[in-house]
Amino acid sequence: MSARPRILVASADKSECDAISDWLLSDGLDPIPANGLTPAVRQLERAPFDAIIVAAEFAFSDVLRTTRRARQGRAPVIVLTADSTAEASAERFGFLSVGRPVERAMVMCSITMALVESRPVRRSARKPVVELEAVVQGMPAALVDVSPEGMRLHLPRDHRRALPPVFTVRVPMVGIGLSVQRCWLDTSVNHRTPQVAVCGVSLYDNAAVREQGWRRFVDVLPTRA
């Protein structure tokens, strides 16, 4: 990695691209903005990058993926997502994802992790489980799948905007309480659960004993049939 890491910021949304570039620059990084797929591909062809931040609209395009593999194979990728479908695609490719609208804390946390690891943050496979009652920011929620590193939650749609970037999830039935970081929030309407928003979270800054307890809990939970 160079002394001043070069970060490609690729998004067709100029305001989003400019905001992320400003955040990176203020933290001593070297952002290279690209307002679209073609400019992003050209930048990837020109010089190496230490990390790539790219909008979901073209993160999975054949031309960008081919160019990245050929010219930037070691650079970790962070995908800007707005729904669970894009987040799942990012996970399938081994990319980290950051939910939209983007927030400085989430972007900077993700880029820091990616640069430190020198690769995308990879997560274990999720385990679907029978819904478990949970409490999030004092409101009722349900835990619907789990992994050693995080979980997916169903939240009341009318309370979804109350979520800060980092919050606590409690599972009263087993007495578990964990600090988590919001990775994405899907507010699209599902006809089967129209009153529910879906949120993916990862464990964040918990004591080692708490995270060990969570992993043991994940191990013993039966998979939903």
pTM of the shown model: 0.56
- Which pLDDT does position 126 carry in this prediction? 80
Please answer whether residues 178 and 168 qualify as being in contact, where contact means their C-beta atoms are separated by less than 8 angstroms: yes
Which of the pair, 124 or 1, is modelled with greater confidence?
A: 124
Q: Which of 58-62, 86-90, 155-159, 209-213 has the lowest mean pLDDT?
A: 155-159
Beta strands in 113-175 (DSSP E): 127-136, 139-147, 150-156, 166-171
State yes or no: pLDDT of 54 exceeds 90. Answer: yes
Res. 122: pLDDT tops 50: no
Helices 104-117, 14-26: axis angle to 10 degrees equals 60
Q: Is the pLDDT of residue 1 over 50?
A: no
Strand partners, 176: 171
Residue of higher predicted confidence among 183 and 16: 16
For the segment 82-105, what is each residue's pLDDT rounded down to a tens digit?
888 888 888 788 788 899 999 998
pLDDT of residue 191: 46
Token pair of 162, please?
A: 């109350």
Q: What is the mean pLDDT of the chain?
A: 84
For the cut 60, the answer to whether the pLDDT of residue 173 exceeds it is yes
Which CATH superfamily does the domain covering 127-220 fall into? predicted glycosyltransferase like domains (2.40.10.220)
Residues of the chain within CATH 2.40.10.220 domain(s) are 127-220
**Is there a contact between 87 and 108 (Cβ–Cβ < 8 Å)?**
no
Q: Is the pLDDT of residue 121 over 50?
A: no
Mean pLDDT of 99-116: 85
Give residue 210's identity as a one-letter amino acid code: R
pLDDT of residue 125: 74
- Identify the residue whose tokens are 């478990």: 132
Give 165's pLDDT tier (boundaries 50, 70, 90): confident
Fold of 6-117: Rossmann fold (3.40.50)
Predicted local distance difference test score (pLDDT) of residue 74: 73
From CA 56, how far away is CA 78, in angstroms rounded? 9
Q: Where in the chain is the domain with CATH 3.40.50.2300?
A: 6-117
For residue 14, name the pLDDT band (cuts at 50, 70, 90).
very high
Q: Is residue 78 scored above 80 in pLDDT?
A: yes
What phi and psi, each to the nearest 5 degrees, are found at residue 193? -135, 65
Residues 29, 24: Cα–Cα separation, whole Å:
5
pLDDT value, residue 196: 78
Question: In which band, very low, low, confident or very high, does the pLDDT at 187 lie, cut at 50, 70 and 90?
Answer: low
Q: What is the mean pLDDT of residues 36-52?
A: 92
